[in-house]
Amino acid sequence: MPDLLIMPEEINNKTVIRNALLINEESSKEADVVISGDRIAGIYPPGKAPAKPGPGTTIIEASGLWLMPGIIDDHVHFREPGLTHKADIASESAAAAAGGVTSFMEMPNTLPQTVTIGEWENKNRLAATKSVINYSFYLGANDSNIEELRKANPELIPAFKLFLGASTGNMLVSDSQTLEAIFSLGRIPVACHCEDEKIIKANSAAYREEYGDAISPSFHPLIRSREACLTSSTAAVTLARRTGARLHLLHLSTAEETGLLTPGADPSLKQIIGEVCVHHLWFDDTAYAEKGNLVKWNPPIRNVSDREALVRAVREGLIDIIATDHAPHTLEEKSAPYFSAPSGGPTIQHSLVMMLQLCHRGELTPELVVRKMCHNPAILFGITDRGFIREGYKADMVLVDPAAPWTVSRENILYKCGWSPLEGTTFRSSVVTTFANGIPVYEEGRLTGRRAPEMLRFKR
């Protein structure tokens, strides 16, 4: 963290956060932080930020609270346009704000799919009027849209999203020459969902033949097997190394896949980036017995040793980003038989407190959570002026009470789908206030109704 600064002048028309435990840039220390407009105006020793009480200054006494950068979630599905019976930009960005998330990057498998610049522009127009927090949208790749990808502005698009070997609609990239051309485009990273479709189809047929349509969801990690993931991930890494592409391996789920990654203190020097999602760090396959399709994700949650290996890979620097793959479906859809129930679930409102719970258990540290959920997404995608609490940066921050237990229930869930696989779970930490661009968008258990979202920008 930069040295604490002391500035003599009084500060008017500011927000002053006093005596918080600032968790930022690998350290935790008490500090005052001043917001002026949409930016961080200064960082001071505790109790030393100059402030003139009165209508021009808001003072937040934050003793006992943690102040962290706002979470940047690089992997969400907000379902708009076309699937808004499940979720929409307004509802899910509100849930995100309640969870301390201040920026999101949304995936292209909506209706229509975001595989043209025109559809990408439409999503940005929707977010500008509906989102509570900052936004960005991937451009999807398929076998026929490489000319659209060539038009993409590297400063505005986080990455190209590819499904390698596992199809979502018509977004499977199966042609080898097209795949090579996409990986060779250059300045925009490629982010890949890696599961081998041939292996999955063969497994599905075999299990359906043996067990019929009434198969238990507990077979999900066997049907979408570790072999299916490792085969596809290995192929993606091989292609990235041959073409020089920056590759983001999304939602890793197996211990074996962590062997494709290399540790490093500076993630910006890595070519192959590993992402893990909160559900793979939280759940293991024992959850299928109680929750069934509610914990059906692609790729699946797996056994205890896989969960432990992924947590270890986060600690050891093999995995650089923790995200959610927030993917709501209605409870009716999830209540269908296994083969008919869609994969995915809502997690963005609870992702930060889930990871802080792992800190309370001794599996992670708050500084590590901030690195993987705030600093590294900003570094690896080149996000301008966000992801850190630094003077001059955008005031995207979250205040957390580390000792305010609460229990997830239908009454406090903000997802449009109205349910969570975490219902009944009690967390020790709670989000107190979320600031996006200096504005408190969530405060003391409620949305404030204020918003000033911005499109994310990328330095490339």
pTM: 0.96
Q: Is residue 405 over pLDDT 90?
A: yes
What does each C-alpha distance from 95 to 28, 99, 288, 391 come to in angstroms? 27, 6, 25, 28
Residue 253 lies in a domain: yes
Whole-angstrom distance, CA of residue 49 vs CA of residue 331: 49
Query: Where in 150-226 does DSSP place strands (E)?
Result: 160-164, 190-194
Structure tokens at 108: 């292209």
User: What was the pLDDT predicted at 53?
Assistant: 67
Q: Which structure tokens are listed for 200?
A: 């999955």
Residue written as tokens 């969902």? 193
Give the CA count within 13 Å in the CB-facing half-sphere of 194. Answer: 29
Judged by average pLDDT, the poorest of 6-15, 139-148, 328-337 is: 6-15
**What DSSP element (H or E) covers 199?**
helix 197-211
Q: Which helix (H) or strand (E) holds 207?
A: helix 197-211
Q: What is the mean pLDDT of residues 209-213?
A: 92
Pairing type for strands 39-44 and 27-36 reads: antiparallel
417 assigned to some structural domain:
no
169: pLDDT confidence band, cut at 50, 70 and 90? low
Q: Is residue 251 part of a domain?
A: yes
Cα–Cα distance for residue pair 96/103, rounded to 1 Å: 9
Q: What is the per-residue pLDDT for 170?
A: 66
Would you state the pLDDT for residue 10? 42
The domain spanning residue 263 has which CATH number? 3.20.20.140
Q: How confident is the model at residue 265 (pLDDT cuts 50, 70, 90)?
A: confident
Structural domain boundaries enclosing 164: 70-381
The answer to whether residue 34 scores a pLDDT higher than 60 is: yes
Residues 328 and 169: their CA atoms lie apart, in Å, by 17
Dihedrals phi, psi of 134, to nearest 5 degrees: -70, 155
- Using pLDDT thresholds of 50, 70 and 90, give the confidence band for residue 9: very low
Write down the number of H helices and E strands in the chain. 14, 19
As a whole number of Å, the CA-based R_g of the chain is 22
- In the prediction, which pLDDT does 7 show? 39
Task: Calculate the dihedral angle through the C-alpha atoms of 338, 339, 342, 346, rounding to the nearest 10 degrees.
Answer: 20
Assign 168 a pLDDT band (cuts: 50, 70, 90). Answer: low
Q: Are 4 and 54 in contact (CB under 8 A)?
A: no
Tell whether 161 is covered by a domain.
Answer: yes
Mean pLDDT of the chain: 94
pLDDT of residue 50: 84
The per-residue pLDDT for 11 is 44
Range in 52-61, 85-94, 329-338, 428-437 the model is least confident about? 52-61
The number of residues making up the chain comes to 460
Taking 70 as the threshold, does the pLDDT of residue 214 lie above it? yes
In a domain, 10, yes or no: no
Residue 329 pLDDT exceeds 60: yes
Lowest mean per-residue pLDDT among 12-16, 52-56, 409-413? 52-56
**Cis before 112 (ω within 30):** yes
Per-residue pLDDT tens digits for 216-254: 999 999 999 999 999 999 999 999 999 999 999 999 999
Q: To the nearest whole percent, how much of the chain has pLDDT over 90? A: 90
Binning pLDDT at 50, 70 and 90, where does residue 172 land? confident
Cross-strand partners of 30: 21
Question: DSSP state, 437?
Answer: T
What's the mean pLDDT in 442-450? 96
How many CB atoms lie under 10 A from the CB of residue 9?
6
Cβ contacts of residue 229 below 8 Å, gap of 6+?
194, 195, 196, 252, 253, 254, 256, 257, 299
Per-residue pLDDT averaged across 259-269, rounded?
90
Q: Phi and psi (nearest 5°) for 349? A: -70, -20
Q: Specify the 3-state DSSP secondary structure of 139.
A: strand
Q: Residue 171: pLDDT band by 50, 70, 90 thresholds?
A: confident
- Residues in a beta bridge with 39: 36, 394
**Structurally, how many domains does the chain consist of?**
1
Mean pLDDT of 316-323: 97
Percent of the chain with pLDDT over 70: 95
Q: How far is residue 142's CA from residue 415's CA, in Å, rounded to a whole number?
A: 30
DSSP 268-300: GG-SEEEEEEHHHHH--GGGHHHHGGGG--SSP
pLDDT for the residue 291: 98
Closest C-alpha among 134, 129, 83, 81 to residue 104: 134
pLDDT band at 13 (very low <50, low <70, confident <90, very high): low
pLDDT of residue 175: 82
Q: Is residue 12 part of a domain?
A: no
Residue 166 has pLDDT above 80, yes or no: no
pLDDT tens for 47-102 read 999 877 667 789 999 999 999 999 999 999 999 999 999 999 999 999 999 999 99
Report yes or no on 53 lying in a domain.
no
User: At residue 3, does pLDDT exceed 80?
Assistant: no
Taking residue 25's Cβ as centre, other Cβ atoms within 10 Å add up to 16
Q: What is the pLDDT of residue 105?
A: 98
Question: What does the DSSP assignment read for 221-281?
Answer: HHHS-HHHHHHHHHHHHHHHHHHT--EEE-S---TGGGGG----S-GGG-SEEEEEEHHHH
Q: Give the span between the Cα atoms of 254 and 263, in whole angstroms.
A: 17
Q: Is residue 8's pLDDT more than 60?
A: no
Residue with token string 């192929």: 235
Q: Confirm whether 176 is domain-assigned.
A: yes
